[in-house]
Structure 1
Amino acid sequence: MVEHFYPVAHADLSTRIDRGRSEGRADAIVDLAAARRFLARRWWLIAGVALLCVVTAGIVLSLVPKTYTATAILIVDPRTQKVAQSEVVLGGIGSDAAAVESQVEILESSTLAKRVVAELGLDRAGELSETSAIERAAAGLRGLLGLATPAPSAAEQRERVLQRFGERLRVRRRGLTYVLEIAYSSGSAETAAQVANALAGAYLADQQRQKQEAARNAAGMLGGRLDELRARARDTERAVSTFKNQNGIVDLGSAQTLLDREIAEQSQQLTQAQARGAEAGARYAQARRATASGAEGGGTLAEALQSSVVTNLRQQYAQLGAQLADLRNNLGPRHPAVGAAEAQVRTVAGQIRTEIGRLAQGLRNEAEAASARERTLTASLERLKKQAAQRGQARVRLAELEREAQASKVILEQYLLRQKETSEQQNLVGAEARVLTPAAPPLRPSAPKTGLLLLVALAGGLVLGLGAAAAAEAMEPGLRHAGAVERGLGVPLLGTLPRVSASRLAAGGGRDGGQGGSGHARLIGDSREHARFDEAIRMLALPLNAGAGAQGLDRSGLDQRGIAGRSGDTLLVTSALPGEGKSTVAEHLAAAFAAQGRKVLLVDLDTRDARLTRSRRAGQSPGLLDALRNASDPGNFVHHGTVDAISFLPIGIARDDPKAAELFFSPALGRAVADLRRRFDLIVLDGSSLLRGVEGRLLLAHADRTALVVEWGRTSRDDVKAALDLFGRAPGSLAGIILNKVDRKALRRYG
């Protein structure tokens, strides 16, 4: 299986690597295919850990004693039962949340626990009084260490029983309702039901007993106060009677005395007399005005109008007046008849005045009588008021005495009524809660929950198995799939090369760390395994040819006119560590490019090993280092191929010089590479390992593209990352990574 990826050039490789790592972690979360392959590789480890956890949990559960939990359900009814109209002595529980929660505390109190324990005899024998295995073991250990403690006293034993009872009891309120659940756990289903029901009964009996005791105590207290209240009521009533006799106060009902009635009557008579006097005075004044106005004015006086004498005189006066007027008109004012008529008129007018005067005198007498009556009544009322003022303080004191007597009487009546009601309540009180559902012996144990715990053990085992698998995956050496390169390192993967045995790949040539290779015609073999390797090399050349376009060449290595360009491309093939097969890959890539019709030069620059020089039997031939040291033309030392069409430039005899590494620092190396560019379409450089010497790192500046060969499953990620960090500080362009010596069968599990 061969994977190929085309390289993408970046200006800053370190930035690309960091971004690739972060994007790789995000992609790994949703990469379901990668997760499936991970499970396929590690399923046996995950399943084994999960099975171990389930078996362990099953063994532990079989040793744990079973526990049964019975539940009794109570409902608290905050409504007060109105059997009688009177109020109860001890109020109800209440309907607020705090009151209901308080009942939970009462049910969990040690008082009820003691009653239930004593009622069922739980303190004499049973699981509450027995010593647990852990306590026995601890006691035995203390005995061996000489730290034995004396046997617990009876009080300590009772306290221990109550503590264990409380640990097995659970009381809770069901939501926001008035329903309470009493749950008790025991090793016996019957015991659990008995305890839950007994606690519910003890709670109801405790409520009823408290109310009865409260009613009984209240009745006794009220009875003791009645004699004192009776004596106080008698004393206050006697004091009121004595005070009235001493001060001559006579009650007429409705809190009114005899003096008060006399004052009221005198006030009423005085008011009537004043009204009559005012009326008489007004009539007298009118009569005086009438008298002063003459006969004509008396016509407006009411008494004159009602008098028959005055009426007759006025009629005569009117007739005489009419006759006088006629005479004057007929006879004239000086006629004797007129004078006689005038005398008659004057006589009648005098009679009228006399009669009106008499009536006015009568009105005057009446007004004076009314005024005298008013003065008499006023004096009498003033005298009564003086008497009332003299008795005012006595009446105030009497009111105080009467209020005290009335209050004593009311209190006595209330106490008498309350005492009778309280006595009756002793037989009418009841609990304000009732058992909604009694506890029944449970059919299945409540603990341990075997099914749930086994599921938890299975889930935990799966989690632990996944963790163990992830740890095993993380500790697995080397890079094994494209995701580890692309997402883990953020570097393109150019392709993978299958593992080929050295005997098949180098049937007569040299070896390169187990993935050997030779030049010449033996690069193309006949075996099926070798054919797969050659096909992988040819496929690997495609992404590398794509990078040649950046140098003015298409993927065939030719320019737009169909002839080779004037300046060739340089490809550096290197590795992080020795023995990863970089020399073999470089040699086979050069052969693949040459097979495409390109003029290829293969240069051995591995000062540490020089495998290509040895495999091509050029160890004693001068090479590139000799040209650099002697400042000669490197083209003079090129070995031109006859069968594989590869030109080869060995490293040279100067490799054995201890100062040969200094030649890589010389500008002559750059000039030599530039000179070779003009002679060849492609120069393939086989450099030293990046982490084993400075020579391989210096070559990065002279390569247009670099292919990093990594041995599949062997080279650690840290070494690869260290090698990639060198590219971030060098101007060379990293084409990508080539995974070499891949196990095809194992690779299928990684995708």
Structure 2
Amino acid sequence: MMNNEQVSGYLSQPFEDGLSARALLASIRRHLMIVVAFTLLFAAAGILVSLGQPAWYQAEGVLVIPAVPQRTAELQELPDSSPDQDSIQSQVDILQSRSVIEPVVRSLKLWNAPEFGKIDSWSWNTVKVRLSRKWRSLWGLANDPKDSPSEQLITGAQPSDTNSLSQAEIDGIVGTYAGYLTVTNDGHSMTLHVSYRALSPEHAAAVVNAHMDSYRNVEVKTKVAAAEHANAALRSQVADLQEKLQVAEAAIARYRAEHGLTGAAMDTGGVSSQLASLNSQLLAARADLAETQARAAEIGAGTGGDTVPEVVSSGTISGLRGQEAQLEGQEAELSRYHGDEYPALQRVRASLQSLRSQIARQTARERAAALQMVQRSRTREVSLEKSIAALTTQLNSADAGLQQLQGKAESIRSLLLNLEKRAAETAANPALITPNSIIASSANASATSTSSKTKPLALGGGFVGFTIGSLLSLLLELRDKGFRTSTQVQQHVGSLTVSATPRAVGRHRRAPADIILDNPQSVFAEALRVSWANIQLAIDRPRSTAPRERRPGIAIGITSAVNGEGKSVHALALARAAALAGEDVVLVDADLRHCGVSRLLDKNFRFTLKDFLQERCTAEDAIAVEKRSGVHFVPGVPIGTALTSQALGRFFNLIQHLKQRFAIIIIDFSPILGLAETIRLAMAADGLALVIRWGRTERQSVQFALDTLRTASISTIGVILNDIDLKALRRRGYRDHTAIYTERLYRVEPGYREPVTPATLPAQTADPNAPSETSRPGSQPEEAAAREQYPAASTIEKWYNTHHGE
């Protein structure tokens, strides 16, 4: 048994893996037809929308802005640097400006063009025309020129003369034109791509070429206007400079007259000869100064003063040097024979020292005299330099002003000649001004491109349809209140045993319970045997078939939450499967409303459960036998009144009587929800199996039924998921163990033969003291050999036989 918290958790999980991308893909697969239908529907809608829209053609031309502008004369345009990205963007703006667009509008009379009329964004006539053209193209037929999609989209008449258009209308056309125009640059080059969209390729190419020509004309007009403005400025500057030159030349003439100069400055009074003499004296004085400075430096040196000519030629120093030489000779002579303490030697040395002091003093006096000579030479040089400067100032003062006036006049004359030359060149070649841009590629009608929206709209519509279909499939999956797999049922019921029964197909669709008799090796029959095995395991029946003491049978109830779940079919089929398996079974039709089992058997019965409950017959009288399967059953008929306590007691007594006679009692009860007698009668059963229908029974109904049984303390031994559509299960991608039910699994193996059953004695004549087959020596090897010689018909039957043989 599971608790209410577990049930609530299971009910909150509509998917086996929770709400995830995998769950979304699973829901798409399970509702693939819906998703495909929405995808195709919206894709067709997208194609229909694209066929009804006008076809636009785009033509493109290429302009190049050269890095160095072409010029035929220096003054045609001012020198400009290579265009950068800012200047390129400026050219893009100019191409999109009104000054370029309006001349194209007026020259081509674009108010008569189709794209400037009133165009329907979508037209059914266009769809028909295009479908007709595609059909003709498919069959190789010629298209009708009148069937032009662009003509079908134009409504309203347009004026053919510009005189009838106001400026506001022209402005509107210019604005529309700008919407169809595109000018782009890749950001890395000087190339401009000019594109225009129109309803015909020829018209688009013509507009692009006219637009580039209009842009180049604007460039030429701009440059011509700039040249004219520059010429006017040059002429004004030339006239002004001519006046200034005249004034400067007049000033030069007046200065010459005032200072008595003719052609050049005149030298009066021998100033030039005096200046040349002073320059000669200055050179001699500078040479004398250098000589005296060198002499004074030699005399002042610590050593080497003896070589100076003045020192060498001095008589006083020569006499002192002679005395010094004599004393040095005496000192040398005395030093050879006497020591340093010898008095005569000491007197000689004292005299020698005194003599040398006199020589030094005399040399100092000679150096002082040399320094005085240097000072006198420097004074003479300075005096000569001052005299030369005075004479130079006197010489230049006469023509300094004249030279200044002449330089000013010369600069004015040079600038005037340059401006006159530039003005002459510009005025002489006004027709040679060319635009800066170059048309690298003109637009061609055959090279126009059309932006078909069929594929994008079809893909977009398909994507929208796929999304809507996916969301709808997810919503349907979330709102699916039924069970699709046994895994979902197991999550819902917790620890209860869950079995699965596939849907009967073919002629057995109306009577599925007969399959267990007519085709015991079918998928349906094998699934019923598995369900019966699960029920046996759930009620803990002994598996051994050895003789044992007789004990009361077990009552198993078969019911459902609501009607139409297939409980009566399962009750009858399970009873037949148990009987064919050798079980001592009886089937009781306790569905007092519909009596489904009795209607499936479709026979006339002498006595029924109603007769027994109303004390019209005994229990043995109410029991009947189905000859085909050997199933004992108690038929029933609908009871229109509620059960009394006495009838309920007789029902319990009947079940107890049947337990003493049969090993298994299968009871077909009415649905649980909404019927009180089902709960009252179900208390007679030892356990109930709940049948739910695949994809139909709501989870909430199953939960209510389980809660009702738990409240009444009635044991639930298992749940059977009925009527599983195996093809839909596999096609929709449900993961479930019921996928093992395939025809290939249950196909009879090659070489199978029905074994010959040996004759046996009737049970009532058999010797009770005789040993059983299970205890007879050598019986097990023989049975094993027989099984090897005659293999089982299916894998599940092998499993079933193996577990029954334990």
In the TM superposition, what is the alpha-carbon distance from 1:596 to its structure 2 partner? 1.4
Superposition deviation, residue 203 in structure 1: 1.4
Shift of residue 197, structure 1, vs aligned partner: 0.9
* Change over 3 Å in CA distance of 1:317–1:227 after alignment to 2: same
Q: Deviations over 1:278-309 (max 9, x none)?
A: 667678889xx99xxxxxx9968753434699
For the 8 Å contact 1:601–1:683, the answer to whether it is kept is: yes
| 1:593 partnered with 2:578 | yes
Q: Is the 8 A contact 2:572 2:587 kept in 1?
A: yes
What SS does structure 2 have at the residue aligned with 1:574?
strand
| Whole-Å separation in 2 of the counterparts to 1:489 and 1:33 | 24
Q: Decide which of 96, 102, 109 is 1:114's aligned counterpart.
A: 102
Under a length normalisation based on structure 1, what TM-score does the superposition of the two structures give?
A: 0.59
Q: Look up the SS of the partner of 1:21 in the other structure.
A: coil
Deviation at 1:748, TM superposition (A): 11
C-alpha spacing 1:725/1:306, structure 2 compared with 1 (3 Å): farther
What corresponds to 1:293 in structure 2? none
Partner of 1:511: none
Q: Output one character per residue of 1:423-447: Cα deviation in whole Å (capped at 9) or x when no partner.
A: 6896665433322221222388837
List aligned pairs for 1:380-529, cutoff 5 A. 429-442=433-446, 446=450, 449=452, 453=454, 457=458, 460=461, 494-498=500-504
Pair 1:689-2:671 in alignment = yes
Which of 714, 719, 725 is 1:735 aligned to? Answer: 719
Q: Indicate conservation of the 8 Å contact 2:278/2:384, yes or no.
A: no
Deviation at 1:581, TM superposition (A): 3.6
State how far apart, in whole Å, the 2-side matches of 1:609 and 1:637 are.
23
Counterpart in the other structure of 2:689: 706
Tell me which residue corresponds to 1:216: 228
Shift in CA distance, 745/299, structure 1 to aligned 2, threshold 3 Å:
closer
**Shift, 1:193, TM fit:** 2.4
Query: Which residue in the other structure is 2:567 paired with?
Result: 582
1:198 to 210, 223, 238: 210
**TM-score normalised per structure 2:** 0.56
1:608, 1:688 within 8 Å by CA — same for their partners in 2?
yes
Counterparts of 1:255-266 in structure 2, within 5 Å, are none
Partner of residue 114, structure 2: 127
Report matched runs for 1:594-743 at 5 Å: 594-606=579-591, 608-612=593-597, 617-622=607-612, 640-643=623-626, 646=631, 656-657=641-642, 681-693=663-675, 706-710=689-693, 717=696, 719-726=697-704, 732=716, 734-739=718-723
Are 1:89 and 2:95 an aligned pair?
no
Counterpart residue identity of residue 684, structure 1: I
Alpha-carbon offset, residue 422 of structure 1: 6.7
CA contact (8 A) 2:588 2:634 kept: yes
Moved more, 317-326 or 638-647: 317-326
- Give the direction of change, closer, same or farther, for the CA distance of 1:558–1:282 in structure 2 (3 Å limit): closer
- Distance in 1 of aligned mates of 2:572 and 2:435: 101
Distance 1:671 1:647 in 2: 18
Partners in 2 of 1:240 and 1:272 — Cα distance? 44
What is the identity, as a one-letter code, of the residue corresponding to 1:725?
A: Q
CA distance in 2, matches of 1:546, 1:443: 79
Shift in alpha-carbon separation, 1:76–1:581, aligned structure 2, 3 A: same
* 1:631-681 deviation line (CA, Å, top 9, x unaligned): xxxx97995554555555789999933787998xx9x99999999889865
Give me the whole-angstrom Cα distance separating, in 1, the residues matched to 2:511 and 2:591. Answer: 16
Return the alpha-carbon distance in structure 1 between the equivalents of residues 532 and 432 of structure 2. 106
Whole-Å Cα distance in 2 between the matches of residues 271 and 659 of structure 1? 163
Q: Deviations over 1:689-725 (max 9, x none)?
A: 2444466689999775634242x7xxx74x4222233
SS of the counterpart of 2:500? strand
CA RMSD, 1 decimal? 7.1
Of stretches 679-688 and 607-616 in structure 1, the one that deviates more from structure 2 is 607-616
- Post-superposition CA distance 1:327-353 (Å, at most 9, x none): 9999xxxxxxx9xxx9xxx9xx99x99
CA distance in 1, matches of 2:426, 2:368: 79
Q: Which amino acid aligns with 2:454?
A: L
- Among all aligned residue pairs of Structure 1 and Structure 2, give the percentage whose two residues are the same amino acid: 18
TM-superposed CA distance for 1:494, in Å, is 1.0
Q: 1:485 to 1:50 in 2, by over 3 A?
A: farther
Contact map agreement 1:601 1:680 (CA 8 A) in 2: yes
SS of 1:620's equivalent in the other structure is helix
Is the alpha carbon distance of 1:670 and 1:303 closer, same or farther for their aligned partners in structure 2, counting shifts above 3 Å? farther
CA pair 485-230 structure 1, distance change in 2 beyond 3 A: farther
Contact 1:564 1:681 in 2 (8 A): no
* 8 Å contact kept, 1:20–1:489: no
State the alpha-carbon separation in 2 of the partners of residues 368 and 444 from structure 1.
Answer: 106
Q: Tell me the SS of whatever aligns to 2:445.
A: coil
Residues 59 and 447 of structure 2 are in contact (CA less than 8 Å); yes or no, is this contact kept in structure 1?
A: no
Deviation at 1:251, TM superposition (A): 11
Match of 2:59 among 55, 63, 70: 70
Residue 198 of structure 1, CA deviation: 0.7
Tell me how far 1:409 sits from its aligned partner: 9.1
How far does the alpha carbon of each residue in 1:147-166 deviate from its partner, in whole angstroms, 9 at most, with x for none? xxxx9961232233323433
SS in 2 for 1:577: coil
Counterpart CA distance in 2 for 1:216 and 1:270 is 69
- Aligned runs of 1:37-436 on 2, under 5 Å? 61=52, 67-81=56-70, 88-89=77-78, 91=80, 94-96=83-85, 98-123=86-111, 125-127=112-114, 154-173=166-185, 177-228=189-240, 303-306=310-313, 367-374=371-378, 429-436=433-440
- Paired amino acid for 1:160: G
Structure 1 pair 311–134 and aligned structure 2 pair: CA distance change class (3 A): closer
Q: Give the C-alpha shift of residue 572 in structure 1.
A: 4.3
CA drift of 1:201 comes to 1.1
Across the two proteins, how many residue pairs are aligned to each other?
Answer: 637
Shift of 1:547: 1.9
Change (3 A) 1:285 1:618: closer
Q: Secondary structure of the residue that 1:494 maps to in structure 2?
A: strand
Amino acid at match of 1:618: T
Contact conserved, 2:67 with 2:82, CA < 8 A, in 1?
yes
Unaligned runs of at least 5 residues, structure 1: 1-9, 136-150, 253-257, 291-296, 331-337, 389-396, 506-513, 518-522, 627-634
CA distance in 2, matches of 1:283, 1:458: 111
**Structure 2: unaligned runs, 5 residues or longer:** 123-162, 267-271, 338-343, 393-400, 493-497, 733-741, 743-806
After TM superposition, give the deviation of residue 217 of structure 1 in Å: 2.0
Local SS of the residue matching 1:656: coil
Kept in 2, the 8 Å contact 1:92–1:432? The answer is: no
Q: Distance in 2 between matches of 1:80 and 1:493?
A: 91
What is the CA distance between 1:116 and its match in structure 2?
Answer: 0.8
Give the match's secondary structure for 2:698: helix
Asked if 1:542 is matched to 2:520, the reply is no
